[in-house]
Structure 1
Amino acid sequence: MSATNPNKSKVFILFPDGVGLRNFAFTHFKEIGEQQGFDITYWNNTIFPLENELGYPELKIKSTKIHPKTAVLSHARKRVELALSRKRTNDQVYPTYRFPLRWNSLKNILKSAFVTFHETFSASPQGWQKLMDQMNAAERSTVRYQEVKAQLEVHQPDIVFCTTQRATQAIAPLLAAQDLGIKTACWIYSWDNLPKGMSTVETDYYFVWSELMKAQLLEYYPKTKAAQVFVTGTPQFEPHYDASLLLSRKQFCEAHGLNANTKYICFSGDDQTTSPLDQYYLEDTAIAVRQLRKEGRDLAIIYRKVPIDFSGRYDAVLEQYKDVITPIDPLWKPIGEQWNQVMPTKEDFALLVNTCYHSELVVNICSSMVFDFVIHDKPTIYPNYEQPQLQKGTRDIGQNYNYVHFRSMPDYDQSVTWAMRKEEIYDGIKGLLDGELNPVPVTKKWYEIVNKPESPEKASERIWEGINEILK
């Protein structure tokens, strides 16, 4: 670590896992904080080498071993939260957020029985609090807690800002900070996280994308007070407002073997949990594009896979339809051997920005990619029909659109172009290209609901202003 200025407020940016890298390492977040006079250290629990790769001052958390009980306690906590939400609202969407339990070994039987017991008998605020207390006590008993506490005692930051509320790896560092009287704040990572019961940590302050998320935070976590919550927008979308990242049409097409005269639609892949039959929606899109080409349109597909999908499930479709599909893989790279050790890169932000800018529209199963594209005035087609390959036990994508975060649409029918049948992908592409369909004005209203509408490119600045307010 480099030498620090004793007169500056010292901020630890905690990365319990790699999901925060995109928002807080690959944007201008650090530079903006330094311009505002903060002394910033990245408290790094990931294997991503921030100092070597980006030249950022970092303090590595060496021990990543959480308490053996923590994962199962967190799973029980999540199920209790969802049960509480269902009881409070009488809304059957909440049970659909549950991860399936496993009963295939003695160890898994014991864990699943523990979770089921608490879901049934601890679904009260007191039961939830007891699970949180047990989880925190377990983490305080670890060697890891002692190590991170010792780091804090040496470096004495004024605040620890955690880049996600989801990670069990965040519990011990935040508890250590609180036990030492250091202020703590947490970024709510994604637009869909609060209704899903995905908050494993409690901090002194919270930063959220929008007024909607603030209302959700206060609803789902009633211990939280409005004064603890800062609405800032998200750095996730900031690169889309950086014109210096844009390549010319010629540069972009030459870099990826594309034809500058062809119109491209993007198919943005999804993960196997959300869309287990995603490859068949890509195939349906390719069939539609082939039909449109027969009708004389110079049209093709850019396929951008979800970065953590190494299943090979798209390979047969990519081979069969290579006349109309060009894959452009995200610029993520493996840092370790595990799937969750594939990390984003700064370069991928520029690739995503240019993919949105140089595509006519995106076809995608229910992700926030709709907002990446609408920033560039590009529409989205959401397929919402069952595939014939759907078997018992395979998740139907239709349940995704019932989730709470999709209720934020200002007009469900008009916020995107829906494909309710396979043939409607063709209809949607044709209608959007011909100008007969245009959901973009309504999609923009939706974007302003889920993100802070004023100056969305200034989210990082507002986060630093919030941190400054906390420290004052």
Structure 2
Amino acid sequence: MKIVLLVPDGVAVRNYIYSDFIKELHQANFEVILYHQIPAPAILEIQNLQGDIISDYRIIPNFKEGFLARIVRESCSYARLLFNSKKLHNKTILQFWNSKSSSTRRFLLLRISELLGYCISKRYSWILKFEKWYDSAVLANSVTKLVEAELTKLNPDYILNLHQRAFNTAPIIAAAKKLNIKNGTVIFSWDNIPKARLVSRYDSYFVWSDLMKSELNKLYSEIQIIDIKVVGTPQFEFYFKDNFQLKKEDFFKIYNLNPNKNTVCFSANDASSPYEAKYLEDLCQEISKIEEEVRPQILFRRCPVDLSNRFDAVINKYPDLLFPINPDWRIASAEQNTFTEIYPSFLDIGLLVNTVLHSDVVVNLGSTMVHDFAVYNKPCLYLNYDPVENSSFKVKDVFDFQHFRSMQNLNAVGWINSKEEFQDKIQRAINNPENTGDYRMQWLQKIVKHPLQNNSSTLAKEIITLCTSV
């Protein structure tokens, strides 16, 4: 059998291409083909890791929508955000509409899309009709015709999209459906479904949990429940592999950390969270007041796609307290700082595993790292205060996001409600970790299918079943 994996950008590489998922397919006698839009150095890294398991690499052709098709796609996205916010009774969903305009053309496009999207959101059937019109426009595009010819020659048994939000894969899925090639997509992250970023429609949808399955069915009622498969996600499997784990002394020696001190990990969010540097400075100020002999050290891991210099001043101010371990994500082209040019090295998996393994507690603003630490049953402290007065950015909005409703009635994290609480809450979490977010494991079990180390196998088995079914 033959499977085509769509890799529209670098963020899909670590969770799927570096995981055992590829090997599971190979062991099931699948010929694996990568259809990608990632840079050449990333392909070289994959080849060095996976060897001949992947038989062919093909570049996803550049897809340019017509202006009208773009308006329809954006209008449908805005309409679904409006629909989802009402369906789930959650206004924060509308914050995922990117209203920033860098040009007159984009300004006009967004305003038209908002107006049209508002109108079609009034009836769900109108949203479906406009989405079908968009599918027709994609099918008629010249790029789709080129892809159709290529897929006809390849004749794969299955096509799997490794990131559902990328519109550059739309022609491939449109051609696959025309050719009756079975297809599916993973829903990449636990917070993706309400964000209206499902560009195409598929035969099957692979989600992390029963919770996501219910949410997808609720917001996309046209999708049959039987077509939504709960398979987990491979991204937590690395924590169970001994080959990624270094001894604490060895790991700390590399980054000048003290193995005899407790360690607080501060994991930062991307630029959409504007005050991460201020939070980091608050943390450093408060921790520096603790007596030297019991003062924990701070391991700082920035968001892999945040390449800004906004943390430099804090790092330079606290050289004996704050130790940055930058993610090993690489940029193929300095001129194009986009998701297609940024990709993780395989070495970054070890950096992340050892960061979690050898830290005592993690501090962040609603990051998914809470679940990484929960794998090792370690506590997380969520930041729960506004570091800048009268700012339009409000922490309350963050924790009102839909995916945090899954934590309701679960004491899964500790909360830092002011700058002055850092010392006490961190020392409590270090000294009595079982009393800080003691339901973190239950939350993790709710978020992603267990056992975590079987997720690659579960996904592969589902695809094998789908390929062999009549």
TM range (shorter): over 0.9
- State the 1:49 CA deviation: 5.0
Q: How does 1:46-65 map to 2 (within 5 A)?
A: 46-49=38-41, 51-55=43-47, 56-61=54-59, 63-65=61-63
Is 2:27 the counterpart of 1:12? no
Is 2:215 the counterpart of 1:223? no
Cα distance, 1:261–1:79 mapped onto 2, change above 3 Å: same
Secondary structure in structure 2 of the residue aligned to 1:33:
helix
Is 2:436 the counterpart of 1:444? no
Residue of structure 1 equivalent to 2:371: 371
Residue of structure 2 equivalent to 1:463: 459
| Residue identity opposite 2:231 in structure 1 | T
| Residue identity opposite 2:91 in structure 1 | Q
- For structure 1, the residue ranges without an aligned partner over 5 or more in a row are 1-8
- State the 1:420 CA deviation: 1.1
| Residue identity opposite 2:299 in structure 1 | I
Range with greater deviation from structure 2 (421-430 or 222-231): 421-430
Residue of structure 2 equivalent to 1:399: 397
Distance in 2 between residues matched to 1:74 and 1:303, nearest whole Å: 39
Cα distance, 1:107–1:351 mapped onto 2, change above 3 Å: same
- State the 1:440 CA deviation: 4.7
Distance in 2 between residues matched to 1:368 and 1:113, nearest whole Å: 33
Residue of structure 2 equivalent to 1:317: 314
Count of residue correspondences: 457
Cα distance, 1:44–1:420 mapped onto 2, change above 3 Å: same
Range with greater deviation from structure 2 (166-175 or 45-54): 45-54
- State the 1:253 CA deviation: 1.2
Asked if the contact 1:71/1:168 (under 8 Å) is kept, the reply is no
- State the 1:400 CA deviation: 1.1
Asked if the contact 2:90/2:402 (under 8 Å) is kept, the reply is no
Asked if the contact 2:3/2:157 (under 8 Å) is kept, the reply is yes
Secondary structure in structure 1 of the residue aligned to 2:435:
coil
- State the 1:35 CA deviation: 1.3
Distance in 1 between residues matched to 2:19 and 2:356, nearest whole Å: 18
Range with greater deviation from structure 2 (87-96 or 261-270): 87-96
Listed one character per residue, the Cα deviations across residues 244-274 of structure 1 (whole Å, up to 9, x for unaligned) are 211011210122122221221111011111x
Secondary structure in structure 2 of the residue aligned to 1:152:
helix
Range with greater deviation from structure 2 (82-91 or 187-196): 82-91
Distance in 1 between residues matched to 2:40 and 2:234, nearest whole Å: 20
| Residue identity opposite 1:120 in structure 2 | Y
| Residue identity opposite 1:266 in structure 2 | C
Asked if the contact 1:18/1:48 (under 8 Å) is kept, the reply is no
Residue of structure 1 equivalent to 2:50: none
Q: How does 1:24-173 map to 2 (within 5 A)?
A: 24-49=16-41, 51-55=43-47, 56-61=54-59, 63-69=61-67, 70-102=69-101, 105-123=103-121, 124-173=123-172
- For structure 2, the residue ranges without an aligned partner over 5 or more in a row are 48-53
Asked if the contact 2:364/2:381 (under 8 Å) is kept, the reply is yes
Q: 1:304 aligns with which of 301, 310, 324?
A: 301
Asked if the contact 2:33/2:57 (under 8 Å) is kept, the reply is yes
Is 2:328 the counterpart of 1:331? yes
Distance in 1 between residues matched to 2:127 and 2:82, nearest whole Å: 10
Moved over 4 A (4+): 48-51
Cα distance, 1:38–1:50 mapped onto 2, change above 3 Å: farther
Distance in 1 between residues matched to 2:38 and 2:150, nearest whole Å: 16
Range with greater deviation from structure 2 (177-186 or 195-204): 195-204
Distance in 2 between residues matched to 1:71 and 1:166, nearest whole Å: 14
Distance in 1 between residues matched to 2:77 and 2:310, nearest whole Å: 31
Secondary structure in structure 1 of the residue aligned to 2:193:
coil
Distance in 1 between residues matched to 2:400 and 2:92, nearest whole Å: 7
Asked if the contact 1:208/1:232 (under 8 Å) is kept, the reply is yes
Listed one character per residue, the Cα deviations across residues 157-178 of structure 1 (whole Å, up to 9, x for unaligned) are 0110110111111211111111
Cα distance, 1:303–1:91 mapped onto 2, change above 3 Å: closer
Asked if the contact 1:23/1:235 (under 8 Å) is kept, the reply is yes
Asked if the contact 2:262/2:430 (under 8 Å) is kept, the reply is no
Residue of structure 2 equivalent to 1:409: 407
Listed one character per residue, the Cα deviations across residues 121-157 of structure 1 (whole Å, up to 9, x for unaligned) are 1112222123312322332233321222222111100
Asked if the contact 2:378/2:433 (under 8 Å) is kept, the reply is no
Listed one character per residue, the Cα deviations across residues 360-417 of structure 1 (whole Å, up to 9, x for unaligned) are 11111101100111111211111011112653xx4223311101100101535x2101
Distance in 2 between residues matched to 1:91 and 1:444, nearest whole Å: 26
Listed one character per residue, the Cα deviations across residues 420-472 of structure 1 (whole Å, up to 9, x for unaligned) are 1111222210111221762353011000000013x111101000110011112
Cα distance, 1:170–1:423 mapped onto 2, change above 3 Å: same
TM-score between the two structures when normalised by the length of structure 1? 0.92
Q: How does 1:231-380 map to 2 (within 5 A)?
A: 231-273=230-272, 275-294=273-292, 296-337=293-334, 338-340=336-338, 341-380=341-380
Range with greater deviation from structure 2 (172-181 or 15-24): 15-24
Distance in 2 between residues matched to 1:57 and 1:381, nearest whole Å: 45
| Residue identity opposite 2:332 in structure 1 | I
Distance in 1 between residues matched to 2:284 and 2:103, nearest whole Å: 43
| Residue identity opposite 2:133 in structure 1 | Q
Distance in 2 between residues matched to 1:288 and 1:385, nearest whole Å: 15
Q: How does 1:187-202 map to 2 (within 5 A)?
A: 187-202=186-201
Distance in 2 between residues matched to 1:261 and 1:228, nearest whole Å: 51
Residue of structure 1 equivalent to 2:51: none
- State the 1:218 CA deviation: 0.3
Distance in 2 between residues matched to 1:246 and 1:176, nearest whole Å: 43
Asked if the contact 1:44/1:58 (under 8 Å) is kept, the reply is no
Distance in 2 between residues matched to 1:45 and 1:130, nearest whole Å: 30
Secondary structure in structure 1 of the residue aligned to 2:148:
helix
Asked if the contact 2:87/2:219 (under 8 Å) is kept, the reply is no
